[in-house]
A and B are shown apart, each in its own frame.
Chain A
């Protein structure tokens, strides 16, 4: 039940059905973008082109000045490698919504951070987080449950590589604030190994010890 949102991925830029000349231009444009981003961030150029991006919010915002209302386009994009890295970015442009999305994509890649995941599929325990007027409750679920959550949280979880999650948004459901709240909540997690280091305890995963078959390659 995803509400229709403008989908934007770097791969679609490459595969767009246009005249050959135009397509080549798009290829070099996105490659230029990836190259500049790789210089700015330090990520591999190939890695940046293969990131999955999602435009979460795209709207017109207005600024009241002496000359009247000046409207511009605002975009909120989330970017992730579907394997534990997630970033969100905001962008604004006066003329074209596409440029705003591009700016947001740029910011998102710059803001890429690691999201701690339990068994690479869900979060650690339950998290309750408040950002402004948005309150987000995130719950870890057993394998196979899927992403049962708000459509914004769904997109974030998909990009991050979370496969099982249950969430509920209370109070304000403003898309921008929900996204920011969820990002903060996901970063707030402490992995079990981190907790063990903090407290000076040893952690043993009983399932791995008793039920897994690990091959020792020597």
Chain B
């Protein structure tokens, strides 16, 4: 959807990690939900909960046009030995310069090669790719399924 909002989310999560906050809220959008679930699957985040401005919902609340403006996604941050698990969250494809890859490009990138100006994959780094079906998946998943996609963000 909006990469501007995703960039803000990235900056916010980095700030929260530095401030050692246990829970943070991000805007509730389809892209944010996909990214949040991706983070949860990779183990960067301990919990993903829907909620309101004040806090996560204890009982499930249906999202309607009446309450959509107050809906947020609450993420549980993880820390170990005084260090945050999610320390870096940077966009690759930016609003002023989008980055698209073919399946063969993605394969080489996953193997550790540099892709044009995009720095090579680091050990323990996770890269989210948005496919043509607007599905956000991990880089290695995309390579397995031989899909093309937009390199959204890199997380360490």
When each residue 196-218 of chain A gets 1 if its CB lies under 8 Å from chain B and 0 otherwise, what string results? 01111100000000000000000
Interface residues of B, dominant DSSP: loop
By the criterion CB–CB under 8 Å, are B124 and A192 in contact? Answer: yes
B44 in the interface (beta carbon within 8 A): yes
Mask for A137-160, Cβ within 8 A of B = 1, else 0? 000000000000000000000000
Report the minimum CB–CB distance from A154 to chain B (whole Å).
Answer: 23
Quick check: B123 and A200 within 8 Å, CB to CB? no
Chain B positions 114-156 with a Cβ under 8 Å from a chain A Cβ:
119, 122-125
Contacts of A201 in B (CB 8 A): 42-43
Q: State in angstroms the CA–CA spacing of A118 and B123 once bound together.
A: 11
Closest to B42 in A: A199
- Which of B42, B83, B123 is in CB contact (< 8 Å) with A124? B123
The interface residues of chain A lying within 8 Å CB-to-CB of B123 are 118, 124-125, 192, 195
Residues of B within 8 A of A (CB): 42-44, 78, 80, 83, 85, 119, 122-125
Give the complex CA separation of A194 and B85 in angstroms.
10
Q: Given A198-B78, A198-B85, A199-B85, are A125 and B42 also a contact pair (CB < 8 Å)?
A: no
8 Å CB interface, A180-200 against B: 190, 192, 194-195, 197-200
Extra A-B contacts (8), CB below 8 Å, given A199-B42, A199-B78: A125-B124, A126-B122, A190-B83, A190-B124, A192-B124, A194-B80, A199-B85, A200-B43
- CB within 8 Å of B: which residues of A? 118, 124-126, 190, 192, 194-195, 197-201
List chain B residues, Cβ under 8 A from A126.
119, 122
The complex places the Cα of A198 from the Cα of B44 at a distance, in Å, of 8
The answer to whether A198 and B122 touch across the interface, beta carbons within 8 angstroms, is no
CA distance A125 to B119 in the complex (A): 12
A101 to B125 CA separation, bound complex (whole angstroms): 42
